[in-house]
Amino acid sequence: MKEPLNRARNYVYWLISKQNRTKKELIDKLTRKEYEKKIITQVLKEAEENGLINDKRYAFAYASDRMNFHKSGKNLIRMKLLQKGMDKELIDRALEHTFRDVDEYEQALAIAKRRARTYKKLDEKVMARRLTGYIVRRGFSFDTALKVTKTIVKDANYQE
Protein backbone atom coordinates (compact mmCIF):
# COMPACT_ATOMS: atom_id res chain seq x y z
CA MET A 1 0.00 0.00 0.00
CA LYS A 2 2.85 2.37 0.83
CA GLU A 3 4.59 2.01 -2.53
CA PRO A 4 1.62 2.93 -4.81
CA LEU A 5 0.80 5.84 -2.50
CA ASN A 6 4.32 7.22 -2.75
CA ARG A 7 4.42 6.72 -6.51
CA ALA A 8 1.08 8.53 -6.88
CA ARG A 9 2.22 11.34 -4.60
CA ASN A 10 5.48 11.75 -6.53
CA TYR A 11 3.60 11.70 -9.83
CA VAL A 12 1.21 14.42 -8.68
CA TYR A 13 4.05 16.59 -7.40
CA TRP A 14 5.91 16.11 -10.66
CA LEU A 15 2.82 17.09 -12.70
CA ILE A 16 2.24 20.18 -10.57
CA SER A 17 5.90 21.18 -10.85
CA LYS A 18 5.54 21.31 -14.64
CA GLN A 19 2.40 23.50 -14.60
CA ASN A 20 -0.58 24.30 -12.44
CA ARG A 21 -3.41 21.83 -12.86
CA THR A 22 -7.00 21.50 -11.79
CA LYS A 23 -8.20 18.78 -9.48
CA LYS A 24 -10.08 17.12 -12.34
CA GLU A 25 -6.98 17.09 -14.55
CA LEU A 26 -5.02 15.35 -11.81
CA ILE A 27 -7.81 12.85 -11.19
CA ASP A 28 -7.87 12.05 -14.91
CA LYS A 29 -4.09 11.60 -15.07
CA LEU A 30 -4.00 9.37 -11.98
CA THR A 31 -6.96 7.34 -13.24
CA ARG A 32 -5.18 6.77 -16.56
CA LYS A 33 -2.21 5.44 -14.59
CA GLU A 34 -4.69 3.04 -12.94
CA TYR A 35 -4.26 4.12 -9.33
CA GLU A 36 -6.98 3.07 -6.91
CA LYS A 37 -9.66 5.62 -6.05
CA LYS A 38 -8.72 5.77 -2.37
CA ILE A 39 -5.08 6.47 -3.25
CA ILE A 40 -6.14 9.21 -5.67
CA THR A 41 -8.41 10.72 -3.02
CA GLN A 42 -5.72 10.65 -0.36
CA VAL A 43 -2.99 12.13 -2.57
CA LEU A 44 -5.24 14.93 -3.83
CA LYS A 45 -6.43 15.69 -0.31
CA GLU A 46 -2.81 16.05 0.82
CA ALA A 47 -1.99 18.28 -2.16
CA GLU A 48 -5.01 20.51 -1.42
CA GLU A 49 -4.08 20.77 2.25
CA ASN A 50 -0.56 21.81 1.25
CA GLY A 51 -1.96 24.47 -1.10
CA LEU A 52 -0.67 22.80 -4.25
CA ILE A 53 -4.12 22.42 -5.77
CA ASN A 54 -6.50 25.36 -5.66
CA ASP A 55 -9.13 25.44 -8.38
CA LYS A 56 -10.25 28.97 -7.48
CA ARG A 57 -6.73 30.35 -7.79
CA TYR A 58 -6.27 28.37 -11.02
CA ALA A 59 -9.48 29.72 -12.59
CA PHE A 60 -8.67 33.35 -11.80
CA ALA A 61 -5.07 33.04 -13.01
CA TYR A 62 -6.06 31.15 -16.17
CA ALA A 63 -8.74 33.69 -17.10
CA SER A 64 -6.38 36.60 -16.52
CA ASP A 65 -3.58 34.97 -18.50
CA ARG A 66 -5.81 34.09 -21.46
CA MET A 67 -7.34 37.56 -21.56
CA ASN A 68 -4.08 39.50 -21.22
CA PHE A 69 -1.58 37.45 -23.19
CA HIS A 70 -3.68 35.45 -25.64
CA LYS A 71 -6.36 38.11 -26.12
CA SER A 72 -9.10 35.52 -25.77
CA GLY A 73 -12.73 36.42 -25.21
CA LYS A 74 -15.03 35.23 -22.45
CA ASN A 75 -16.61 32.41 -24.44
CA LEU A 76 -13.31 30.71 -25.25
CA ILE A 77 -12.02 31.02 -21.69
CA ARG A 78 -15.32 29.65 -20.33
CA MET A 79 -15.16 26.67 -22.68
CA LYS A 80 -11.52 25.88 -21.79
CA LEU A 81 -12.20 26.09 -18.04
CA LEU A 82 -15.26 23.84 -18.40
CA GLN A 83 -13.06 21.31 -20.21
CA LYS A 84 -10.65 21.45 -17.29
CA GLY A 85 -13.46 20.48 -14.91
CA MET A 86 -14.14 23.84 -13.28
CA ASP A 87 -17.39 24.67 -11.55
CA LYS A 88 -19.66 26.99 -13.58
CA GLU A 89 -20.15 29.46 -10.72
CA LEU A 90 -16.40 29.64 -10.19
CA ILE A 91 -15.87 30.26 -13.90
CA ASP A 92 -18.45 33.05 -13.88
CA ARG A 93 -16.79 34.72 -10.89
CA ALA A 94 -13.35 34.46 -12.50
CA LEU A 95 -14.60 35.91 -15.79
CA GLU A 96 -16.51 38.69 -14.05
CA HIS A 97 -13.39 39.61 -12.07
CA THR A 98 -11.06 39.40 -15.08
CA PHE A 99 -13.26 41.32 -17.52
CA ARG A 100 -14.64 43.94 -15.11
CA ASP A 101 -12.53 46.78 -16.55
CA VAL A 102 -12.17 45.44 -20.09
CA ASP A 103 -14.03 46.70 -23.14
CA GLU A 104 -14.56 43.54 -25.16
CA TYR A 105 -15.29 45.52 -28.29
CA GLU A 106 -11.94 47.33 -28.09
CA GLN A 107 -10.09 44.09 -27.39
CA ALA A 108 -11.76 42.35 -30.34
CA LEU A 109 -11.09 45.39 -32.56
CA ALA A 110 -7.38 45.28 -31.72
CA ILE A 111 -6.98 41.60 -32.66
CA ALA A 112 -9.15 42.08 -35.75
CA LYS A 113 -7.04 44.98 -37.03
CA ARG A 114 -3.94 42.82 -36.87
CA ARG A 115 -5.69 39.96 -38.65
CA ALA A 116 -7.25 42.25 -41.27
CA ARG A 117 -3.79 43.05 -42.64
CA THR A 118 -3.50 39.48 -43.88
CA TYR A 119 -6.88 39.76 -45.60
CA LYS A 120 -6.31 43.10 -47.36
CA LYS A 121 -6.07 41.55 -50.85
CA LEU A 122 -9.32 39.62 -50.48
CA ASP A 123 -12.77 40.58 -51.66
CA GLU A 124 -14.67 42.62 -49.05
CA LYS A 125 -17.30 39.90 -48.43
CA VAL A 126 -14.70 37.16 -48.08
CA MET A 127 -12.66 39.32 -45.72
CA ALA A 128 -15.74 40.08 -43.63
CA ARG A 129 -16.69 36.40 -43.38
CA ARG A 130 -13.18 35.30 -42.43
CA LEU A 131 -12.70 38.12 -39.96
CA THR A 132 -16.01 37.44 -38.24
CA GLY A 133 -15.19 33.76 -37.95
CA TYR A 134 -11.74 34.54 -36.56
CA ILE A 135 -13.13 36.86 -33.88
CA VAL A 136 -15.78 34.33 -32.83
CA ARG A 137 -13.17 31.55 -32.63
CA ARG A 138 -11.12 33.77 -30.33
CA GLY A 139 -14.02 33.66 -27.87
CA PHE A 140 -15.92 36.86 -28.53
CA SER A 141 -19.67 37.00 -29.03
CA PHE A 142 -21.10 36.94 -32.52
CA ASP A 143 -22.60 40.42 -32.00
CA THR A 144 -19.21 41.83 -31.04
CA ALA A 145 -17.63 40.11 -34.03
CA LEU A 146 -20.18 41.64 -36.40
CA LYS A 147 -19.71 45.14 -34.98
CA VAL A 148 -15.93 44.87 -35.24
CA THR A 149 -16.08 43.47 -38.76
CA LYS A 150 -18.40 46.26 -39.91
CA THR A 151 -16.07 48.83 -38.38
CA ILE A 152 -12.99 47.40 -40.07
CA VAL A 153 -14.59 46.85 -43.46
CA LYS A 154 -15.96 50.40 -43.47
CA ASP A 155 -12.71 51.88 -42.16
CA ALA A 156 -10.32 52.69 -44.97
CA ASN A 157 -7.46 52.69 -42.43
CA TYR A 158 -7.78 49.02 -41.42
CA GLN A 159 -4.38 48.41 -43.00
CA GLU A 160 -2.57 50.27 -40.19
Residue 1: the pLDDT is 55
Q: CA–CA separation, 82 vs 30, rounded Å?
A: 19
> How many other CB atoms sit within 10 Å of the CB of residue 93?
15
Q: CA–CA separation, 63 vs 67, rounded Å?
A: 6
Q: What is the mean pLDDT for each group of 10 consecutive residues in the chain (160 residues)?
A: 87 94 95 94 94 94 95 96 95 96 94 91 91 96 95 65
3-state secondary structure of 71: coil
Residue 157: the pLDDT is 43
